[in-house]
């Protein structure tokens, strides 16, 4: 992954693949042109690297020149295309092949046609290394296309984002979600997970996704997924992971500009942990850490009994029930501790101390991610 200005980009087309694409274009064009000596016209700035590699590979005599146009500002194509350097030589009677790095809306190409309208060239052919068919709004013929790509912003191999990124020999694609810190938060009952999640979400601008809350919200609001989940629950069946993941996906999408997420109550099994990894992957993101608050059993029992005196929760009043809940927690999380440890993502944090002390310890972990 690379960062340019404020944005993150992920690897998209390797140096070797780019090289193969260029070679394929050279072969095709050389075969078509035969013994004609063409003039290759690179469109600056973006196509300097492509043009250079292209003519180095070109097997026969050729001429190279450049025109310089500018149309992009940041991530957007602008209406107004500036002609910074036009044609500087006589191209009468010549076979001209335009070498473009990328064709997006086609506005630059329209300008190229305007430039050549009054030139008495023999033939004008368009060759573009990359082409975004979904963005293309013109109907000029593209004679040679190296690779069609989705309508996402790319950098590298001559292409830039506000001036940066041109020097890379490979191509990167803008990440769908920007850099996020995603945490799976664990803690036995009474560890203070809810309290800490509240502090962390404020401090790091994270969105707290408690699976229990998500379920209750969807069922209460009778969303399609909520109704589906309810149909299983009414029969006394477990809600399939797919339904839960779909609900989480909706939460993640609703908050696509968050700095990250605190997952609470999910995953509980290996399969769920894998599904969550897949979900985050599909957003060009990842789970960065499983953080478990560690509190000695005896302290938990005391805390919960204390809470039971005022909370009125019946499961906080009975020591037998409390011990069972704690045991169940350890039985369940052991698997996940292994899962995340294997990826080097497990962090145990001492959950005994004042609220501030514990927040400090959690921050200590998050700041290193």
Using the rule CB under 6 A, is 106 a contact of ligand IMP? yes
Looking at the Cβ atoms of 47 and 244, the one nearer to Mg ion is 47
Q: Is 268 a catalytic residue?
A: yes
Residue with tokens 């506000």: 162
Q: Which two tokens stand for residue 144?
A: 């040679």
Q: How far is CA 226 from the centre of its chain?
A: 28
Cβ-contact 126, 140 below 8 angstroms: yes
Q: Which is nearer to ligand IMP, 159 or 184 (CB)?
A: 159
Question: From CA 72, how far away is CA 46, in angstroms rounded?
Answer: 11
Window contacting Mg ion (CB under 5 A); options: 34-42, 85-93, 97-105, 120-128: 97-105
Q: Would you give the binding string for Mg ion spanning residues 47-86, x where CB under 5 A is met?
A: ----------------------------------------
Token reading at 228: 């589906």
In the set 230, 268, 283, 323, the catalytic residue is: 268
- Which of 264, 326, 321, 269 is CA-nearest to residue 297? 326
Binding mask 83-102 for ligand IMP (x = CB under 6 A): -----------------xxx
Catalytic residue among 57, 152, 325, 337: 325
CA distance 154 to 173: 4
In this complex, which beta carbon is closest to Mg ion, that of residue 43 or of residue 262? 43
Residue 106 is a binding residue for Mg ion (CB under 5 A): no
Asked whether 111 and 69 are in contact (CB, 8 A), the reply is yes
Is residue 46 part of the contact set for Mg ion (CB under 5 A)?
A: yes
Closer residue to Mg ion (CB): 25 or 304: 25
Secondary structure of residue 311 in the 3-state scheme: helix
Give alpha helix (H) positions in 235-268.
241-254
Instruction: Give me the least distance between CB of 168 and ligand IMP, in Å please.
Output: 12
Q: How far apart are CA 257 and CA 309, in angstroms?
A: 42
Contacts to ligand IMP by CB under 6 A: 46, 71-72, 77, 100-109, 153-155, 159
- Residues forming the active site: 193, 268, 307, 313, 325
């Amino acid at each position: 992954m690379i960062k340019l200005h404020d944005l993150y980009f992920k690897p998209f087309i390797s140096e070797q693949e780019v090289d193969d694409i260029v070679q394929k274009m050279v072969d095709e064009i050389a075969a078509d042109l035969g013994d004609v000596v063409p003039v290759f016209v690179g469109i600056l700035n973006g196509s300097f690297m492509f043009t250079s590699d292209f003519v180095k590979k070109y097997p026969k005599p050729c001429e190279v020149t450049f025109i310089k146009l500018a149309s992009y500002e940041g991530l957007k194509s602008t209406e107004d295309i500036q002609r910074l350097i036009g044609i500087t030589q006589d191209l009468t009677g010549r076979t001209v092949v335009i070498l473009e790095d990328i064709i997006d809306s086609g506005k630059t190409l329209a300008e190229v046609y305007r430039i050549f309208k009054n030139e008495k060239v023999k033939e004008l052919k368009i060759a573009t290394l990359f082409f975004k068919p979904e963005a293309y709004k013109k109907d000029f013929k593209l004679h040679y296309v190296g690779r069609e790509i989705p309508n996402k912003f790319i950098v590298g191999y001559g292409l830039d984002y506000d001036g940066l990124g041109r020097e890379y020999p490979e191509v990167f694609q803008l990440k769908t979600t920007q850099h996020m810190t995603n945490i799976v938060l664990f803690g036995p009952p009474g560890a203070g997970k809810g309290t800490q999640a509240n502090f962390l979400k404020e401090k790091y601008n994270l969105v707290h996704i408690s699976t229990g809350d998500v379920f209750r919200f969807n069922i209460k609001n009778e969303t399609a997924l909520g109704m589906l989940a309810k149909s299983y629950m009414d029969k006394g069946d477990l809600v399939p992971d797919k339904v839960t993941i779909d609900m989480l996906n909706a939460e993640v999408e609703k908050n696509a500009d968050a700095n990250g997420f605190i997952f609470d109550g999910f995953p509980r099994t290996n399969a769920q942990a894998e599904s969550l990894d897949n979900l985050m992957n599909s957003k060009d993101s990842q789970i960065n850490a499983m953080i478990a608050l560690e509190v000695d059993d005896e302290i938990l029992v005391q805390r919960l009994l204390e809470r039971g005196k005022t909370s009125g929760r019946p499961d906080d009043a009975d020591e037998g029930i409390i011990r069972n809940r704690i045991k169940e927690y350890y039985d369940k999380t052991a698997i996940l501790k292994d899962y995340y440890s294997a990826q080097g993502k497990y962090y145990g944090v001492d959950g005994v101390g004042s609220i501030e002390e514990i927040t400090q310890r959690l921050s200590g972990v998050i700041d290193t991610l």
